[in-house]
Structure 1
Amino acid sequence: MSDLLRAPAEIKYAEELDWLESVDDNPKPFAWRLSPKMLRLFILGSERADGLDREISQKWFGDRSIVERAIVTLASDRGLLLIGDPGTGKSWLAELLAAAISRNSTLVVQGTAGTTEDHIKYSWNVSMVIAKGQSRESMIPSPIMTAMEAGSIGRFEELTRSTSDVQDALISILSEKYISVPELDSDGIVFAKPGFSVIATANSRDRGVNDLSSALKRRFNFVRIPVVTNKKSEAEIVRFRTEELLRRHQIELDVPPTLLDVLLRSFGDLRAAAASAGSDDEKLESALSTAEQIGVLEDAVLHSNFFGERELTARTLASSLVGSLARREPEDLAILNKYLHGVVEPRSKDEGGDWPEFLDGGRDAIATLS
């Protein structure tokens, strides 16, 4: 794992998955590596009532019913569509589900304006076709076709970013569970094996980019991933991701709970301001998601480790927040400046603590960018 910049979930948690599989005596759908109960436990973590001999860490933070509905969908013949705002953990949940069910989460198609039917069906090795003609050996299967042949989970990221032609091609795969290869005289149909399904993700802010057709919607069960609003849950997510970063970089640096609270409250304040804004010009361009919150903290931690005194400070945290969220000039800078003067300045006088240093760091960062 140390040789990988980012190990997929099935490698990162291989030992844990092996152990869960060895003690799992519950019924499993198709060729699933884990039963639905163990799959839920792998994602949400173990509790004392589970009666296991070891603790299983929580990897995705959200409502239990969301995970259960996702698992039930994948055990049916319908695809699973995880939809929600940016940074709500859709892709991470999809990866965990695929890793635990198939022990392979890398069969992924990334939806973009340039995604074509070849990316979800097949293409050809041109040199082999010229030398030997079209055959199964010269065919290059897509990740989705590979998943079909293996009875595994295929993933489709940002489905609404792909064009209608690509979406239409996915309809037949989800309906018929096979791909026809007309170029081959014999062996021209690739059938899906039991266990095959597709987990797609869609950004709710991309509505109107390439809307899904009614036919494609009927092939999916929709599971909406809400924005995390619970302060305790959000703190756990941020702490979990930051600890992963520290381990990856072998950084010994503490994140004081008081600074984590400053970060959480700041994002909460900015979200409330965005919700009450009268126009888009009065909102930050940032979605203010949990993922962006993690990015702000990671930036501050790395800066403190490489260029500071190996101690996270409120000033560095404020500088990272302004640098990460100020994407438009002067609009975003004006919004952040208003927040500092209207909210942080009074709070620094009333509460003290880290807020005065946070205020100074934010002001200096805005002055540098202005």
Structure 2
Amino acid sequence: MSDLLRAPAELKYAEELDWLESIDTGPKPFTWRLSPKMIRLFVLGSERSDGLDREIAQKWFGDRGIVERAIVTLASDRGLLLIGDPGTGKSWLAELLAAAICRDSTLVVQGTAGTTEDHIKYSWNVSMVIAKGQSRESMIPSPIMTAMEAGAIGRFEELTRSTSDVQDALISILSEKYVSVPELDDDAIVFAKPGFSIIATANSRDRGVNDLSSALKRRFNFVRIPVVTNKKSEAEIVRFRTEELLRRHEIELEVPPNLLDVLLQSFADLRAAAAAARSDDEKLESSLSTAEQIGVLEDAILHGNFFGERALTAHTLAASLVGSLARREPEDLAIINKYLHGVVEPRGKEEGGAWPEFLEGGRSAIASLS
């Protein structure tokens, strides 16, 4: 794994998955590698009441019922659609579920305006077709078709960003569970094996890009992933991801709890301001998600490690926040500047701590961008 920039979940947690599989005595649907209870435990982590000989770390932070409903859906005939705001962990949950069920989370199609039916069905190796003609050997199966043939989980990211033609092609796959290959005379149908299902994700902010047809909606169970608003849960997510970052870069650095509190509070303040805004011009373009908090902290840690004193400071954290969230000029800069002067400055005078340095770092960053 050290040779991979980012290992998929089935490789990253291979030893843990092997161990869970060795002690798993629960009923398993189809060809699943783990039982539903063990999958839930893998995703949400173990508790003392589970009575295990080792601790299983929590990997996705969210409601237990969401994970259970997702697992039950994948054991049914319907596909699973995880829908929510950007940065709520939809893709990460989909990856963990696929890794636990079939030990392969890489059968992924990325939905874009350029995604075609070939990406979810099949295409052809042109040189082989010229040399030998069209055959199963010269056919290039899509990740979804590969999942069908293996009885595995296929993933479709950003479903609503793909065109209606692509979405319509999914309807027959989800309902009939096969793909016809009219170019072939023999072996012209690829059937899905037991265990095949699709996990799709959709950004609730992009629902107007290419809305799903009612026919496709009926083939999916919708599971909504809410924005994390609980500070304790959000702190756990940010801390978990930051520790992964530090291990990947082999950085020995402690994130001071007071600076993590400053980051969490600043995002909470900006979210409250966005909720009270009367127009889009008064809101930051950023979704202010947990994922963006992690991005701000990652940027600050790396900057401090490479160009600072190998320590995280409030000044660097503020500069990273401004650099990450100010996407429109001058609108976003004006919103952040208003926040710094209207909220951070009075708080710094009243509470002290890291806030005055955070204010100075934000001001300096805005001045350099203005």
- TM-score calculated relative to the size of structure 1: 1.00
Q: How far does the alpha carbon of each residue in 1:93-147 deviate from its partner, in whole angstroms, 9 at most, with x for none?
A: 0000000000000000000000000000000000000100000000000000000
* Alpha-carbon distance in 1 for matches of 2:210, 2:151: 29
CA distance, structure 2, for counterparts of residue 366 and residue 125 of structure 1: 52
Q: Which residue of 2 aligns with 1:361?
A: 361
The 3-state SS of whatever aligns with 1:186 is coil
Displacement of 1:63 in angstroms is: 0.3
Deviations 1:194-252 (A, max 9, x none): 00000000000002100000000000000000000000000000000000000000000
- What pairs up with 1:1-370 in 2 under 5 angstroms? 1-370=1-370
Q: Which runs of 4 or more aligned residues in structure 1 lie more than 2 Å from their structure 2 counterparts after TM superposition? A: none
Secondary structure (helix, strand or coil) at the match of 2:278 reads coil
Deviation for aligned residue 1:158:
0.2
Q: Name the CA distance, whole Å, in 2 between partners of 1:127 and 1:365.
A: 54
How far, CA to CA, are the matches of 1:219 and 1:207 in structure 2?
17
Whole-Å separation in 2 of the counterparts to 1:117 and 1:336: 43
Q: Using the alignment, how far apart are the partners of 1:208 and 1:90 within structure 2?
A: 19
Q: Secondary structure at the match of 1:179?
A: strand
Deviation per residue, 1:236-269 (Å, 9 max, x gap): 0000000000000000011000000000000000
SS of 1:200's equivalent in the other structure is strand
Question: Displacement, 1:303?
Answer: 0.3
Identical-pair percentage: 90
Distance in 2 separating the partners of 1:257 and 1:52: 31
RMSD, aligned CA: 0.3
| Local SS of the residue matching 2:140 | strand
C-alpha separation in 2, matches of 1:125 and 1:321: 47
1:147-179 alpha-carbon deviations (Å, 9 max, x no partner): 000000000000000000000000000000000
TM-score, normalized by length of structure 2?
Answer: 1.00
Q: Distance in 2 between matches of 1:238 and 1:249?
A: 17
Counterpart of 2:217 in 1: which secondary structure?
A: helix
Distance 2:290 2:358 in 1: 20
Q: Match of 1:93, SS?
A: helix
Q: Hey, what's the Cα distance between the residues in 1 that align with 2:76 and 2:142?
A: 23
Distance between the aligned counterparts of 2:329 and 2:210, measured in 1? 29
Partner of 1:154, secondary structure, is strand
Q: Tell me the SS of whatever aligns to 1:41.
A: helix
Q: In 2, distance between residues paired with 1:24 and 1:230?
A: 33
Q: Distance in 2 between matches of 1:319 and 1:140?
A: 47
In structure 1, stretches of 5+ residues that fail to align are none
Which secondary structure does the structure 2 equivalent of 1:241 belong to? helix
- Secondary structure (helix, strand or coil) at the match of 1:81 reads strand
Number of aligned positions between the proteins: 370
Give the distance between the partners of 1:118 and 1:138, measured in 2 at CA: 14
Q: Secondary structure at the match of 1:364?
A: helix
Provide the rounded CA distance (Å) in 2 between the counterparts of 1:337 and 1:110: 37
Which whole-Å CA distance do the structure 2 matches of 1:318 and 1:132 have between them? Answer: 62
What is the CA-CA distance between 1:350 and the residue it aligns to? 0.5
1:341-369 residue CA offsets vs partner (Å, 9 max, x unmatched): 00000000110000000011101111110
1:274-318 CA deviation, whole Å, 9 max, x = no partner?
000000000000000000000000000000000000111000000
Distance 1:209 1:70 in 2: 25
Q: Deviations over 1:26-63 (max 9, x none)?
A: 00000000000000000000000000000000000000
